[in-house]
Amino acid sequence: MTPNPEIANKLAQKLRAGPSLNLASAQYQAATKARSKWLLHQANKHQVTPKGKWWTIWLLLAGRGAGKTRCAAEWLWWEAWTKPNTRWLVSAPTSGDVRDVCFEGDSGLIKVIPSILVDNYNKSQHEITLVNGSIIKGIAASEPDRFRGPQFHGGWCDELAAWQYLDEAWNMLQFGMRLGQSPKIICTTTPKPKPLIMDLVERDGEDVVYTTATTFDNLENLAPTFKQQILQYEGTKLGRQEIYAEILDPEEAGIVKRNWFKLWPSEKPLPRFEFILQSYDCATSDKTKNDPTACTVWGVFKPSPDKSMSVMLIDCWEEYMQYPDLRPKVVEEATSIYGDENEFGHGKKVDLILIEDKSAGISLIQDLQRAGLPIRSYNPGNADKMMRLNIVSPIIHKGRVYIPESSVNEGCARDWAEVLIKQICAFPEVRHDDLVDSTSQALRYLRDSGLIVIDPVYDADDSYDEDKPKRVNPYAV
């Protein structure tokens, strides 16, 4: 491939104005030779730049060792070289990844850019300056606020699915892609079922080019023993993701499985609820774009005389709102009556409103307690979100959590409840986990208060056989 003639001519004219005509010729030849060698003799099919100018994002999902880094590095330096005096971003999960993989790695920019084209490499600033005035700047995705300010003509996002603050960093990065006529980004990553990754895949053909490759597509460039090593992962979920670049269904790796939930038949009247609990997970900040407030409502009931107490999801919602809107919403919800008007009665009022003791919840608890509502604060302690869900997952696994069945789609939950099921079963690979938090704190309270007992201990006879020694607690002796 030869450079863009117009750009090449302009660059040649600029260099002829100075005393470095031979250097300019050597630079041109070195760039052309390196690019031709890559495209004609080294690049695999999935590493060739997509045709056309319509796309803005090239999403390359590929297995380990498929050549993602080399592909992106080759694309980026050529873009920077053929477009003099432009600015280009390189971002990776951490600062170390930017340096050790994208810049100095075996397939990184310093290795693939002909050295004659590099004017300066500032290692501490993660910045490469080419002799044509173009700059390649590295910024770690672990610090999303660092994307504020800089602006670029395009860039490279490496291991996008591994970014810790994926949505926040991606959004901040987009605001910086504002130079030139059509900024382009190449995103290289081994796929994970992150919401952003799936969003980009769905945009394939609109403004996104979606390319996939497996480890086997680049096997000839890897160590001879590597093939034998990876064969042990054939047929496993890890192999499907890391070798074949398959985007796994996030529910496959979730803590809670969909079939653990029990459906309450649509044609069957709702049972008589003995206890109604509303559980709130309030937004952690005023950034309503990122943090919705979630509410789940649970009714405790006995499915039949011979079955243990269970719980049913009877309402749930999540909404972006700040405190002035949240307070009247909670007050309104507190006056709701839940349950059908049938032989069991006319529904039931809310017995308890559970609110996590953090952020907006702190003010809400204090305010509504003074108003006389049945408010109780909830403090999860040091348990993280994963641990909280793990603690209550046995309640769901035991079939003690019911979901109302859809009256339209037999065997499926109602649409409003499906949102909660999907979020819980896909956790932690979800964009928002507010319904997960609301559910885990509700089930935890019901369990700790004794309203839901998972494994009751029955002792049919408290008397002891005189011939047998009595049980003794050794720690009480």
- pLDDT band at 358; cut points 50, 70, 90: confident
Reported as a single tens digit per residue, the pLDDT across 47-89 is 999 998 899 999 999 999 999 999 999 999 999 999 999 999 9
In order of 50, 109, 172, 175, 179, the CA distances from 75 in angstroms are 11, 10, 23, 22, 18
Residue of 241, 257, 234 lying closest to 162 (CA atoms)? 241
Enter the pTM of the model. Answer: 0.75
d(Cα 348, Cα 346) in Å, to the nearest integer? 7
What's the CA dihedral at 214, 215, 219, 221 to 10 degrees? Answer: 110
Question: Each residue of 452-477: b (16+ CB within 10 Å) or e?
Answer: beeeeeeeeeeeeeeeeeeeeeeeee
What is the share, in percent, of the chain residues with pLDDT greater than 70?
87
Residue 78 sits at φ, ψ, to 5 deg, of -70, -40
Reported as a single tens digit per residue, the pLDDT across 276-325 is 999 999 876 544 455 789 999 999 999 988 888 999 999 999 998 888 88
- pLDDT band at 127; cut points 50, 70, 90: very high
d(Cα 353, Cα 378) in Å, to the nearest integer? 10
Name the token pair of 277. 């609990």
- The confidence score (pLDDT) of residue 448 equals 92
Angle at the Cα of 54 (from 53 to 55), degrees rounded to 5?
A: 100
Residue of 197, 208, 399 lying closest to 310 (CA atoms)? 399
Question: Which residues, including other chains, have CB under 8 Å from residue 67's CB and lie 6 or more apart?
Answer: 44, 46, 47, 107, 213, 217, 218, 221
